[in-house]
Amino acid sequence: MNEAIRELNAIKARIPKQTYRTIIGQMRAGDLGGATVGINRLKKKIAKEDAANENRTFISGLLTIWIGMIIGGLIPFGVLNHIIRRRQDLITRQLPDVLDLLSISVQAGLSFDGALKKVVERMEGPLIDEFRWMLRDIRMGMTRARSMKFMAERCDIQDIYLFVMSVTQSEKLGASMSDTLKIQADNMRNIRRQRARTLAMKAPVKMVFPLVFCIFPSIFVVVLLPSLLSLKQTIG
């Protein structure tokens, strides 16, 4: 009986008080066998609950690790993509002004490479860094066409591809480099204006969601709620 009481006290915190009193009553009434059977059933039930809790803890740990790995993997890619898009935007904005300076320098009598060197010396920015890298490749023996192709691939911007193609075609056909650069600068500005107009046209559509889900509910609460409360008091 003492052994049964020790076993019962060991699981006392895990069982209902009424169940504990019932088993103690069985022991006092002399039904030690029934009390032992009841204790064994309770121990098995508690063991199953512990096993289930361990499984849930294990699964929760795996899910936590899995979610952490996904988030930890996506955040660096998201940050990197943001940096890349920001750099590409800066290059796109800087390109027309750089083309104007190149055109003026070529008109003044400099070669295309000489004009590039002047621009690199006097300006800063991601596009200037790319030109500086391109000039370094040329100094190391790479052809200008190949170095410009690599620059376009590094930037991965449609405007840069157009600029490289125009310069390459101008050299092949013997056209005026200054006129080509001037035309390209004007085209880039027109493209930038068109993109700005497109973004401006999309703005009203993007405003619909904040209006529907944020502003209109607030207006409803401020304007109609007092009226509804007054109506409720009147009816009451």
Each residue's pLDDT tens digit, 53-103: 787 887 888 888 888 777 777 788 888 888 999 999 999 888 888 888 888
How many domains is the chain partitioned into structurally? 2
CB 188 within 8 A of CB 96: yes
Q: How confident is the model at residue 132, as a pLDDT?
A: 92
Q: CB neighbours (10 Å) of residue 105? A: 20
Same domain, 154 and 184: yes
**Cα 170 from Cα 164, distance rounded (Å):** 10
Q: How confident is the model at residue 213, as a pLDDT?
A: 65
Q: How confident is the model at residue 18, as a pLDDT?
A: 81
Report pTM.
Answer: 0.58
Same domain, 89 and 198: yes
Q: What's the gap between Cα 202 and its chain centre?
A: 22
Intra-chain end-to-end CA distance of the chain, in Å: 67
Looking at the domain assignment, is residue 187 inside a domain? Answer: yes
Using one digit for the tens of pLDDT, what is the confidence trace for 122-159?
A: 889 999 999 999 999 998 988 888 999 999 999 999 88
CB 168 within 8 A of CB 184: no
Question: Higher pLDDT residue, 117 or 31?
Answer: 117
> Which residue bears the tokens 């009147």?
234
Residue 236 has pLDDT above 60, yes or no: no
3-state DSSP helix/strand/coil percent for the chain, to nearest 5?
A: 90, 0, 10
Q: What is the DSSP letter of 189?
A: H
Same domain, 189 and 90: yes
Residue whose C-alpha is closest to residue 99's, from 155, 182, 167, 170: 182
Same domain, 89 and 45: no
CB 219 within 8 A of CB 130: no
CB 11 within 8 A of CB 43: yes
Q: How confident is the model at residue 149, as a pLDDT?
A: 92
**Cα 163 from Cα 184, distance rounded (Å):** 7
pLDDT band at 200 (very low <50, low <70, confident <90, very high): confident
Q: How confident is the model at residue 47, as a pLDDT?
A: 82
CB 46 within 8 A of CB 11: yes
Residue whose C-alpha is closest to residue 84's, from 154, 21, 173: 154
Task: Give percent of the chain with pLDDT exceeding 90.
Answer: 14
Looking at the domain assignment, is residue 221 inside a domain? Answer: no
Same domain, 126 and 53: no
Q: How confident is the model at residue 128, as a pLDDT?
A: 93
**Least confident interval from 111-115, 120-124, 146-150, 173-177:** 173-177
Same domain, 87 and 199: yes
Domain limits for position 126: 82-203
Using one digit for the tens of pLDDT, what is the confidence trace for 4-32?
A: 777 767 777 777 788 777 877 777 777 76
Looking at the domain assignment, is residue 232 inside a domain? Answer: no
pLDDT band at 231 (very low <50, low <70, confident <90, very high): low
